[in-house]
Each structure stands twice: as structure tokens, then as C-alpha cells.
Amino acid sequence: MITVEKYHGTGNDFVVVEADAPIEDRASFARRLADRETGLDHPDGERVGADGVLFLKLDASTAPTRVEMTLVQPDGSVAEMCGNGARVVATWAAGRTGDREFVIDTPAGEYPAEVGQEGVAVEMGEPTFDPDAVPTTLDEPLIERETEGLTVTAVNTGVPHAVAFVEDVAEIDLEAIAPPVRHAAVFPEGANVTVASERTDGSVFGYDQRTFERGVEGETRSCGTGAVAIVAAAHELGRVETDQSVPVHPPGGRLVVTRTADGAILQGPVEREFETTVPADGAVAER
């Protein structure tokens, strides 16, 4: 049996496992536990299954402490980066070390993170619109261009996103419009599809967000890299200013994204749901 924990960041939920756990097939393990109908369930859990499994390796010999993060998604693929996942990682590491500052190592690079009273903040690096880095098949950045019926801007915030600004995200049939864009020929490695609409809470400007995630192959309650992609695209289009803190509201809660002069910062809450044990092959008992 393997000890696992369950966390979520604004509804984006993950199973957390020590990287040295004796799991022979990580892809199969993740597919089984993440399944929304037959996956991991617990009385203290908010939902059955998960948006992925985080395999974590902590190195407390460094200053700041480093954590190696590998996210295996529900389809068995490995995601290069996950903003909410990184926030979960920092919370998990803080619980083990008492530290508040970490460096998270991912396939997409290093991401400094800090656990504070207002939640977890992750330095997300420099968003890029470069067609080779997104990647796209174009010779120039894909900015406000119609793609499979949706006008999108392509940006990589650790993973590729196609961002569309719409009148009202609640009126969008995301499960219908997102898959053609996600699989569009212009995105040779696929893309997450994120839609955003402006909102104002009193005098506070922000965005509503919905994201169809590659690897999940469906809409998630929150997507950190998607929130950063929205603000990065809005900044590129002149809709937000450098160093402006922008609230972003996915279905699962509230995030804050700041587009700095040389990167972006993602901040938001994380909650620990439960700890339990599961078989090493990820099979769960029938309910």
C-alpha cells in the first residue's frame, strides 16, 4: 500500500505521492486514481478522482529547499508545468519542513515559491509568445487570430495556452468549442484552451476564467498557468499594465496574477483534503 495525500488549489485537485514510492507504472497509477467516476474517493474529499498525480522529491539539504515535481495527468501524460500544482507542492513541502520558501524543479524549469498568510505565490517566469516556444507552426506570434472558429492569442506560461477574450465565459460551450482548438494543426503539441471575460467587483478590475486542459481533456475548476496566460495576453494587448495585480476568477475560486517586468507571479490559496493509502497499482475498491 502507498500513502497518498489529496490537495486542491482553487478547486484544481491533485493526489500527492512521494517520488520514491514503489510504483511501477506511473501513467496507469495516475489514470486509475484520477478517474472522476471510479478514482480515489474519501469521506473528507470534495470530489472523486483528481486533475492529476504529483510525484514529489524533497531535498532539504539546499537553501532554499528544493522540490522536484512531476505531474502525471489523467491521460497518463506528463505536464511540463502546472501553476496550481506548484502551489500545492509548496504547501506540501512547508508541512514537512516548516520552511516558507522553496524552489520547485519541473520539466519546464525552476520556479521559486513562497507560502504566506495570503496563500502561496509562485514566480512563473517570463510568458512567451514566440512561435517556436509556444510552439506553433507559424513564423510570427499568434496574436488575436481566428483558429478553428475562436479568436485566440497563443502564449506559453510553462505549457501552451490558446487564450480567447469573450463577452461572457458563462455563455461559452467550452466542451464543444475547445477540442478543435486544442487539437488545431497550428499547435503541433496541442494547447490548453482558456477563455476569459472582464469583470468588475466594485472598483476592482479582473477576469473570469474557464480552461479546457490538455491531458485532462476536459474543463477544470481552476488552471494556474491559464490564469497567468490570461493576464500575459491582456498585457500584450495593452489591457493591463506592468506590475498590476489582476484578480482572476476560475470556477473554483480566486487567483491573483501580476505581470512583472521580467515575468509573472501567481498567488492563491491551497487546501489539504486528506491522507490515505492505496494499492501500488492505483486500483481502488469498488463502491
- Indicate the number of domains in the chain: 2
Annotation-wise, does 225 bind a ligand? yes
Residues 24, 252: Cα–Cα separation, whole Å: 33
217 part of a folded domain: yes
How does residue 201 score in pLDDT terms, banded at 50, 70 and 90? confident
Task: Indicate which residue of 223, 229, 233, 278 is catalytic.
Answer: 223
Task: Indicate which residue of 82, 154, 186, 231 is catalytic.
Answer: 82
Residues 193, 212: Cα–Cα separation, whole Å: 5
Annotation-wise, does 85 bind a ligand? no
Average pLDDT over residues 89-97: 96
pLDDT in tens, 121-149: 999 999 999 999 999 999 999 999 999 99
Average pLDDT over residues 157-165: 97
**Quick one: 27 exposed, middle or buried, by C-beta within 10 A (0-12, 13-18, 19+)?**
middle
Q: Is the pLDDT of residue 280 over 60?
A: yes
* Helix/strand/coil for 193: strand
Residues 125, 259: Cα–Cα separation, whole Å: 10
Annotation-wise, does 45 bind a ligand? no
Annotation-wise, does 254 bind a ligand? no
223 catalytic? Reply is: yes
Q: What is the 3-state secondary structure (H, E, C) of 95-132?
A: HHHCCCEEEEEECCEEEEEEEECCEEEEECCCCECCCC
Annotation-wise, does 156 bind a ligand? no
Percent of the chain with pLDDT over 90: 93
Contact 83, 223 (CB under 8 A): yes
Q: How far is the first Cα of the chain from the last one, in angstroms, to the nearest whole number?
A: 19
Extract the C-alpha cell encoding 270. 491551497
131 part of a folded domain: no
Same domain for 68 and 11? yes
Q: Is the pLDDT of residue 200 over 50?
A: yes
Q: Is the pLDDT of residue 101 over 50?
A: yes
Please give the pLDDT value at position 287.
46
185 part of a folded domain: yes
Same domain for 170 and 110? no
> C-alpha angle with apex 109: 269 to 61, nearest 5 degrees?
80
Same domain for 175 and 214? yes
The pair phi, psi for residue 8, each rounded to 5°, is -145, 150
Residues 246, 266: Cα–Cα separation, whole Å: 10
Same domain for 155 and 70? no
Same domain for 184 and 213? yes
200 catalytic? Reply is: no
Same domain for 85 and 11? yes
User: In this structure, what CATH number is given to the domain that contains residue 219?
Assistant: 3.10.310.10
Q: Which pTM was predicted?
A: 0.95
> C-alpha angle with apex 254: 148 to 268, nearest 5 degrees?
110
Domain that holds residue 45: 2-118+270-278
pLDDT in tens, 261-279: 999 999 999 999 999 999 9
Please give the pLDDT value at position 285.
54
Same domain for 152 and 58? no
How does residue 12 score in pLDDT terms, banded at 50, 70 and 90? very high
Same domain for 67 and 19? yes
129 part of a folded domain: no
